[in-house]
Amino acid sequence: MIAEERLIRILSMVNQRGTVTVPQLMEELGTSESTIRRDLAKLDKQGRLIKVHGGATRIRHDYVMLDQSFAGRQALYMDEKRAIGAYAATLIEPDDFVFIDGGTTTACLVDALTETHATYLTNSLPHAQRLLAKGCHTLLPGGELKPATEVLVGAETVNAIRRYHFTVGFWGTNGAGPESGFTTPEFSEAAVKQISLEHTVRPYVVCDSSKFTKTSLITFADFMDATVITDHMEDAANALRMAGNIVEVEEA
């Protein structure tokens, strides 16, 4: 059996059963313990399974099909989001032109920022109100207001953002990982995220570590297209840690 076929068989067994042991794999694949352990280490490094003592388990992903309301997400992981937002706020400098995406983690960033000399553009109505209250120079694109997330979306929003070039930007995400990239459940919001991130020199995705076990319907950027600011990833797969684009922030 060639190596690639063996890896495919191992992944199939792990995904079907949830957990497999090294002896089970040795028996069913007719190969040595050392070969199986090397294969498991390789698949773990690629982020395709989780290598555990004596075998492997599948990576469990929750699929996010719909956007939860802004109010509904405000109570989730708030300590982590505040720590992430506080760190992200320190990355903004006086001469920056900043894009800020909608979401509860980026809301924590807006609450924490003290740099009022930068120029801000956001497609989030709540964020714009918070920025104005701080005395920030604030821009809003045109577009259709999406009730669930209170952000502006649609062709008019995309065309407005296409004209700008941001020095730094911050995005929320519904799911994140090396294989699927950064994902969100709705096409019109994904289009705004994608064009704004493509037009930013220093892009950051801000998300709590629960997002690494989630995947949504539409990829708006590859995983290596932005630096990820998150909380402590105690149980993260090797593939995440080895990506080299993740900043872990401890809670205050």
Burial of residue 49 (CB within 10 Å: 0-12, 13-18, 19+) is: buried
The whole-model pTM stands at: 0.76
The whole-angstrom separation of Cα 115 and Cα 28 is 61
From the CA atom positions of the chain, what is the Rg in Å? 21
Please report which residue ranges of 47-164 form alpha helices under DSSP H.
Answer: 70-73, 78-89, 104-112, 125-133, 155-162
pLDDT at residue number 149: 87
Phi, psi of 244 (to 5 degrees): 80, 5
**Encoded amino acid at 86, one letter:** A
- In this predicted structure, what is the pLDDT of residue 14? 86
Domain boundaries, the chain: 3-60, 63-248
CATH number of the domain at 3-60, out of 1.10.3370.10, 3.40.50.620, 1.10.10.10, 3.40.50.300? 1.10.10.10
CA distances from 13 to 1, 56, 100, 228 (A): 16, 10, 43, 32
The SS3 call for residue 62 is strand
Q: Which fold has domain 63-248?
A: Rossmann fold (3.40.50)
pLDDT along the chain (252 residues), means of 10: 82 84 93 92 80 82 60 69 97 98 97 98 98 98 92 97 98 91 94 98 95 90 96 68 86 60
Of the CA atoms within 13 Å of residue 31, those in its CB half-sphere come to 18
DSSP state of 64: E
Q: Find all residues with CB under 8 Å of 190, minimum gap 6, and list them.
A: 184, 218, 219, 220
